[in-house]
């Protein structure tokens, strides 16, 4: 992975975010540049090409045992491209590298239709103002309960083979 690759990934990410009516750009080009300098060994970029030109890509983080799917970007929409790049190609990467697991990332109940059951995720929040912090904590407790209930329902519908049967 080169800095040029990361700059391309940033452009894919930004183009995708800019197309979404609800999109909000959380990550900056400087962030992508810094990652390429400091953490290149832990970044896995997967690109899709058409006629030798990149049309989509995904940004993943990797450690010794797992690949963590994070951000997707696209210049040209194509049916099934998102799943092929973000999930199927990422799973192939895991198999080639001998990684034990693939974490597809938070959100997207549609992932279960492709064999990716919901997994718990962790997020961290730092809120300075105490009253706002208490409100956020209360909301997160409620959200956690709702997410756990939904996850339990989705796991009952899993398409994956049960280990004991």
Instruction: List, for residues 31-50, the tens digit of each pLDDT value.
Output: 999 999 999 999 999 999 99
Cα 53 from Cα 75, distance rounded (Å)? 10
pLDDT of residue 88: 93
Residue 98 contacts residue 62 (beta carbons within 8 Å): no
Nearest CA-CA partner of 148 in 111, 121, 112: 121
pLDDT of residue 138 exceeding 90:
yes
Q: Does domain 3-105 have CATH number 3.90.70.10?
A: no
Q: What band does 20 get if pLDDT is binned at 50, 70 and 90?
A: confident
Over range 53-67, report the average pLDDT.
Answer: 96
Q: What band does 109 get if pLDDT is binned at 50, 70 and 90?
A: low
Long-range contacts of 10-14 (CB under 8 A, 24+ apart): 11/73, 11/75, 12/54, 12/56, 12/57, 12/72, 12/73, 12/74, 12/75, 13/59, 13/71, 13/72, 13/73, 14/73
Q: What band does 111 get if pLDDT is binned at 50, 70 and 90?
A: confident
| Of the listed ranges 7-21, 49-63, 92-106, 112-126, the one predicted with least confidence | 112-126
Mean residue pLDDT of the chain comes to 90
pLDDT of residue 124: 80
């Amino acid at each position: 992975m080169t800095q040029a690759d990361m700059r391309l990934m940033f452009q894919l990410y930004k183009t995708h975010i800019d197309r979404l009516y609800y999109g909000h750009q959380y990550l900056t080009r400087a962030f992508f540049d810094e990652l390429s300098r400091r953490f290149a060994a832990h970044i896995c970029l997967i690109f899709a090409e058409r006629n030798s030109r990149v049309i989509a890509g995904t940004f993943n983080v990797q450690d010794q045992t797992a690949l963590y799917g994070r951000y997707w970007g696209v210049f040209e929409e194509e049916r099934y491209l998102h799943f092929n790049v973000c999930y199927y190609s990422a799973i192939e990467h895991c198999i080639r590298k001998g990684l034990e697991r693939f974490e597809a990332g938070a959100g997207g109940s549609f992932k279960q239709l492709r064999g990716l059951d919901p997994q718990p995720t962790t997020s961290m929040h730092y809120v300075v103002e105490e009253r706002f912090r208490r409100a956020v904590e209360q909301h997160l407790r409620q959200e956690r309960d709702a997410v756990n209930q939904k996850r339990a329902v989705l796991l009952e519908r899993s398409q994956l083979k049960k280990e004991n049967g």
